[in-house]
Amino acid sequence: MLDFSKVREKSEAGLVTIKTRAGSTATVSAFGGQLLSWVPVGRGEQLYLSPCAQIGAGTAIRGGAPVIFPQFADRGSIVRHGFARTQVWRLVDSKESGAEAFVEYQLQDDAFTRSIWPHTFDLRLRVLLRDSGVQVSLSCLNRGDKPFDFCAAIHSYFRVSDVEQVRLIGLEGAGFWDSAERREGVASFDVLTLVGEVDRIYRGVDRELKLNEAGNERLCLSQSGFQDVVVWNPGPQKAVALVDMPPEDHKHLICIEAAQVNTPIRLEPGQIWEGAQRICIAGDTGGE
């Protein structure tokens, strides 16, 4: 189980844990509208959360599944990865009904968000939990009278024993931008291995991906609404510079993000966009 003590001591975290009848659990924080933990029944923790995770004063929680909105990385004029992951979201609904459970949070524009991004919006984050799968859905409504563009991502951190024993399967043929090496490329092989820093944005990924570890099938990942997949690990050198994560923990995580980066989403007044990332235990359909 993850140690939430660093997060629980902050009242704004507002943690909610939902549970299925069989015993699968998911924990979501109001700060960031962020899934922090997913434990399928009969399995261990699937997500990585840094033991040094910080919260508050504009600092995102390192781990879980942060919401990136309305800007990805530094591709724009506002704070890196946008402001959604450092705002307190409002709990609007939660229910447990036997084989599944869900929780939903809302974030709307306010004076602070409009001061740095002058648009009127309504974000909804919904976590749907089933016995061996979880779906994280993000929707955005344009509440204003003018169109706006935005990027978004579900920045999921997965816990692994040894990142060099991880294989991500299903990206062959996808074009990518390598942010670490500053180059374009095309995935030549169906299997991606991670050695050192990896920071790639894969374009047009509309297929299921499989995460294997040490030769064993582990997770299946699929998405809708999002056109890109980001794969990230800081590697040993950049991990040292992360003050909210032990340097050696780069060995124990891989980020596989459902993302919309290369082509920003344009919303006309009154329009709604929705994207989702679905994750299930390999060989099970619990995340569908």
pLDDT by residue (tens digit) across 147-197? 999 999 999 999 999 999 999 999 999 999 999 999 999 999 999 999 999
With a threshold of 0.85, does the pTM exceed it? yes
pLDDT at 287 over 70: no
Read off the pLDDT of residues 93-111 as tens digits, 9 standing for 90 and up.
999 998 999 999 999 999 9
First-last CA distance in the chain: 25
Tell me the one-letter amino acid at 150: F
Arithmetic mean of pLDDT, 232-236 = 97
In three-state secondary structure terms, 44 is coil
- The number of angstroms, rounded, from the C-alpha of 96 to the middle of its chain's C-alpha atoms is 23
Among candidates 168, 176, 189, which has minimal Cα distance to 228?
A: 176
For the chain, percent of residues with pLDDT exceeding 90: 87
d(CA 139, CA 122): 8
Q: How far is the C-alpha of 211 from the C-alpha of 221, rounded, in Å? A: 8
- Mean pLDDT across the stretch 37-64? 92
| Cβ atoms of residues 30 and 12 within 8 Å | yes
Helix or strand (DSSP H, E) at 134: strand 133-142
Q: Which of 148, 282, 153 is nearest to 221 (CA)?
A: 282
Fold for the domain defined by 5-281:
Beta-galactosidase; Chain A, domain 5 (2.70.98)
